[in-house]
Structure 1
């Protein structure tokens, strides 16, 4: 598993991140379950170096959480499907991302505690 948050230095960050998702997580874009997180992590690993993320806002309502951030990196490969066949020039890239998650409350759990 190689899915810790950008810049994470804690060895159990991936475990904590995945613990936030329900086992029946469904990604509407890919039509896949939790395995899509590993796939996307591989795309990032093979496509971008010097990665960082700037968090702009996290909003929530009764059953939704929206996360808005800007991703930055230097392009080193064509791991992302939409990059296949494009010339690799090592240039810096940046783009905003918005992710919306539907949530259900099953209790509270503090990250960083065993």
Structure 2
């Protein structure tokens, strides 16, 4: 498993969400599968695009090699631990995030995490 923070966060979060839930990858190939596992992508886009500063959202990818073949339960466990670590001490109603799973040809699996850079209780 590999976790990488991507150099994203500027511009439209709506565009990022549309890519994550879209049927095609960056090269235009049809994806094998797309599934929203956590959160509401539309809410994340709305919150992030409402923010007035430059870095509106954070983008992370959690990827497994084809030979890893993670089960759905293992993927859910990783996302649960990621959430507990990323927002340690915050109640879930204080942050906006989504996790979208992409299944690839050949058996590879990766989850994209997109999070608005805002505490929903205290604001930006």
TM-score of the pair, normalised by structure 1: 0.31
Q: TM-score, with normalisation over the residues of structure 2?
A: 0.29
CA radius of gyration, larger in: 1
Question: Larger relative contact order (C-alpha < 8 A, sep ≥ 6)?
Answer: 2
Structure with the bigger percentage of helix: 2
